[in-house]
Structures are given as structure tokens and as C-alpha cells.
Amino acid sequence: MTDFLYPFIEAQEDDPEALLADLAASARAKAAESAALQESSLRELESTIQACATAMAGRFARGGRLYTFGNGGSSTDAATLASLFAHPAAGRPLPAWSLTADQAVVTALGNDVGFELIFSRQVIAHSKPVDMVAAMSASGSSDDLVTALAEARRRDLLTIGFAGYDGGRMGELAAAGELDYCFTIGSQSIHRIQESQARVAHRLWQLTQEQLSTQRRTSPVTTPGGAR
């Protein structure tokens, strides 16, 4: 009789319908939460995104390159950001690379000089002052990212950070005027932070493309691939 009153206890559970309904409801609730966070993040950050896009368009027009990086899932989101700039389905391809793409370089640096230097050493090797770096992190505090942002800043690159929670160390750098642009997604969930970061990154790409179209009328673009 107790099975009738409590049909879903532990291993006796054998009808998946209730679980499937719960899962679907959970998916909708989390998607709604993600949508709301994306919307509020875009509204809150719009003027910063616009300013950052203007600065990036200027550097791309002068031959600048974009380097992106992150750890774990954020490294893949950073790679997607680089891919968005370099291989857009529509718009002008712009030179952008992910610094996690070459496992020979990443493992050589990690093994020889330490994991916290895997990106900063690449910044030293690759970059010129006209270039840009974008670091993506949910915490905003990863050592390897913060170290690379500081190195890039010393070399006059444009520095961009994507963070979550309260901004972490990237937020502190931005407050101290040592990070050019910081996009902090105010959430405690790594998944929801990453989803909103992707949306902000897409907006940044979109506005950079628009800025370049505007600039094209006033000055020729010298970017490789810019002729398309």
C-alpha cells in the first residue's frame, strides 16, 4: 500500500513519466533563467560592448590580430569567439586565433615554464602593440589568464576580459584601470555565466563588424582577408 502513496521511492521507481516531466520543467526553468540573464547582461553591458567594438575595429583596420584564451569549457568558448571573428558565416573575416589550439605549444610551456605562463609566453612570442587579447573565464581569477592580460597590457595590446560572479581578479584589474574592457556576468552558475558570455561575445563581434563597415567609408582596411 505504501507504494501507492509513495510510488517513486529509490530503486522501486519504475515509471519514468514523472521524472521526464520534472526534467522537462527543469530545462524550461533553466532556459528561462539563462534568457533573463542574457537579456540583462546585454542591456547592462551594451555601452561597454560598443566602446570595445569601436576600439577593436580600429585595431583590425590597422592590421591588428585577436588572440583568445581560457581554461576548460571557457577555452572552447574562447575558440568559438576566435572562430566567429575569423570564419563568420556572414561579414568580413578578421584575423583571430585561439591560444589553446596548438597542443605542442601549450604542453611545452606548461611543462617547461609552468601552467600559469601558457598564455603570457605566447603573447610575448606572437603579439605586436596593435594586437588584442580576449580572456574568457567564469571566475575571472585564473592565474594563467590574469598573467597573460597583464603581459598584454605591458605591451600596449587591447585587453578584454570575460568574467562571472563578482568579476574576480579581472574585475579588480578593470576597477584599477589595468584592463581595458571587462564583461562581468553577475551570476553564481558557471553554466549560465558561459551562456551569457557567448551572447555578449556574439554582440561584440556584431558591433565590430558594423564599426568596420562604417570605417570602410573613411579609410581603407588593410587587414588580411579584409578584401572580401
Partner 1 sequence: MSPVVAVEPQLMSEDLSADLASTALVLARRYQAGATLWVLSPEWEPHAHHVAVEFVHPVIMGKRALPAFALTGADAVGEARLASRPGDVILVIAAAGDPRAREVVRRAPAWGADTIWIGFGERPRPGSADHVLWVDSDDPMVPATGRFVLLYHLLWELTHVCFEHPGLLVPPAADCTDEVCITCSDEGRLGEVVLAPEEPFAPAIVRTATGEEEVDVTVIGDVSPGDLVLVHAGAALVRLEEDGR
Member of 48, 58, 63, 83 binding partner 1 (CB under 8 A) = 83
Judged by CB under 8 A, the residue of 59, 77, 96, 160 near partner 1 is 77
Residue closer to partner 1, measured from CB, 12 or 219: 12
Smallest distance, partner 1 to C-beta of residue 43, A: 7
Nearer to partner 1, 72 or 129 (CB): 72
Site track for partner 1 across 12-51, x = CB under 8 A: xxx-x--xxxxxxxxxx-xxx-xx--xx--xx--x---x-
What separation, in Å, do the N-terminal and C-terminal C-alpha atoms of the chain show? Answer: 73
Site string for partner 1, 98-117 (x = CB under 8 A): x-------------------
Q: Segment 130-149, which members bind partner 1 (CB under 8 A)? A: 138
Taking the C-alpha atoms of residue 192 and residue 162, their distance in angstroms, rounded to an integer, is 13
Binding site for partner 1 (CB under 8 A): 8, 10-14, 16, 19-28, 30-32, 34-35, 38-39, 42-43, 46, 50, 72-73, 75-77, 79-81, 83-84, 88-90, 98, 138, 190-191, 194-199, 201-203, 205-207, 210
